[in-house]
Structure 1
Amino acid sequence: MNPISIIFVALAMSTDAFAAAIGKGATLHKPRFTEALRTGVIFGAIETITPLIGWFIGQAATEYVQDFDHWIAFVLLVALGLHMIYNGVKDEAPEEDKPQQHSFAILAVTAFATSIDALAVGVGLAFVDVNIWIAAAAIGVATTVMVTIGVMLGRVLGVVVGKRAEIVGGIVLMLVGAVILYEHLSAA
């Protein structure tokens, strides 16, 4: 996997966290940068760990699926992309009670929920030639930056931009899956 693809995966992985961060920022009264950065670091750390876990799971299965691993990566990325697009277009019920301050536990659970796709991407990355440490670090840094920005923009932009970001992230994931498949098929 080339560095450009890693960057696109990292950005795509951070879009659902960005969308969640906009929602989190929208629930706070004039969020300060320190709160935004704290949220970004929590999300970024979890988004760094989950693809590593997925990669180790995928590595355990590599010898059994080497002949069609590019198809697995393609299907996983397209499925995750479609799921992100679906989440971006579906209507959600309005929240009843909005918190005034976000606890570590609430942020960690939200971060984990938005990082499930990164775990699956990690499984898919086990089947392609990629340095998982660089990919996981890129995902973590992108998520930290995007979530910090998302919290700060939350009061101004609201959930509309967050939904569009998730749709764009889903499209990018699907394109990365197509590039992986194309690169493998054209090399064969």
Structure 2
Amino acid sequence: MDLPTVILIAVGLAMDATAVSVAGGVSVREGRARTALTLALVFGGFQTGMTVLGWYAGSALAGFIGWIDHWVAFFLLLFIGGKMIYEGLRGEDGEPVAFEKPLVLLTLGVATSIDALAVGLSFAVLGSAVLVPAAIIGIVSALLSLVGFWFGGVFGGRHREWAEVVGGAVLLFIGVRILFEHLFI
């Protein structure tokens, strides 16, 4: 898979973590630098790990679904992107989150990286390598988490929902592109 596509996928996947980091930037008042770095490491680490885990799972299944791999990738990305757009447009605000608690960090890490698991599966069924894309996905997630935390502190979280909408749209675009390339090129 080419670098621009991997970067677009990474940005799309990072939107959940970025949105959570924006919320953290809005609500955390003490230990801001520590919390921002912790969130970045947790989100980047989980995005990387889940992408690799998805790739391994997909590699085990690739022989069974190789003849429909582009459709699998398309529907996975369509589902993930659509879910992100729906949640971003719904825009419900919940209770404040205690970002410093380990169980909360673990839960947020898993919740924001489920999409990366599906993308890793897509990489496997498309026969793409995983280590470099997974590292890029993790680094982009960590960097955008830091930016989101800063953005939340400065702008008060007014635009957090739109981060998910943009991320979902990017994943939809990638899914359509994969399907188009396999059907027409």
Matched to 2:100, the amino acid is H
Counterparts of residues 153-164 of structure 1 (less than 5 Å): 153-164=151-162
Aligned match of 1:136: 134
Contact 2:50 2:116 in 1 (8 A): yes
Q: Where do 5+ consecutive residues of structure 1 fail to align?
A: none
Q: Whole-Å Cα distance in 2 between the matches of residues 56 and 150 of structure 1?
A: 30
Render the CA deviation track for 1:18-51: whole Å, top value 9, x for unaligned. Answer: 0011111211116533331121011110111001
Counterparts of residues 55-66 of structure 1 (less than 5 Å): 55-66=55-66
Q: Whole-Å Cα distance in 1 between the matches of residues 11 and 148 of structure 2?
A: 13
Counterparts of residues 4-83 of structure 1 (less than 5 Å): 4-29=4-29, 32-83=32-83
Secondary structure (helix, strand or coil) at the match of 2:128 reads: coil
Q: Whole-Å Cα distance in 2 between the matches of residues 182 and 159 of structure 1?
A: 36
**2:182 corresponds to 1:184:** yes
Deviation at 1:105, TM superposition (A): 2.5
Task: Give the TM-score normalised by the residue count of structure 1.
Answer: 0.91
Q: Structure 2 vs 1, CA of residues 142 and 148 (structure 1 numbering), >3 Å: closer, same or farther? A: same
Aligned match of 2:169: 171
Contact 1:25 1:31 in 2 (8 A): no
The alignment covers a number of residue pairs equal to 185
Of residues 117-126 and 8-17 in structure 1, the stretch that sits farther from structure 2 once superposed is 117-126
Contact 1:31 1:152 in 2 (8 A): no
Q: Whole-Å Cα distance in 1 between the matches of residues 30 and 152 of structure 2?
A: 9
Matched to 1:178, the amino acid is V
Aligned match of 1:104: 102
Matched to 2:17, the amino acid is A
- Structure 1 stretches of 4+ with a deviation exceeding 4 A read none
Aligned match of 2:85: 85
Q: Structure 2 vs 1, CA of residues 127 and 29 (structure 1 numbering), >3 Å: closer, same or farther? A: same
Task: Give the TM-score normalised by the residue count of structure 2.
Answer: 0.93
Q: Whole-Å Cα distance in 1 between the matches of residues 63 and 10 of structure 2?
A: 26
Question: What is the Cα-based RMSD across aligned positions, in Å?
Answer: 1.6
Q: Whole-Å Cα distance in 1 between the matches of residues 33 and 22 of structure 2?
A: 14
Contact 2:151 2:157 in 1 (8 A): no
Q: Whole-Å Cα distance in 2 between the matches of residues 94 and 77 of structure 1?
A: 26
Q: Whole-Å Cα distance in 1 between the matches of residues 93 and 44 of structure 2?
A: 27
Aligned match of 1:116: 114
Give the share of equivalent positions with the same residue, in percent: 35
Q: Where do 5+ consecutive residues of structure 2 fail to align?
A: none
Q: Whole-Å Cα distance in 1 between the matches of residues 97 and 81 of structure 2?
A: 29
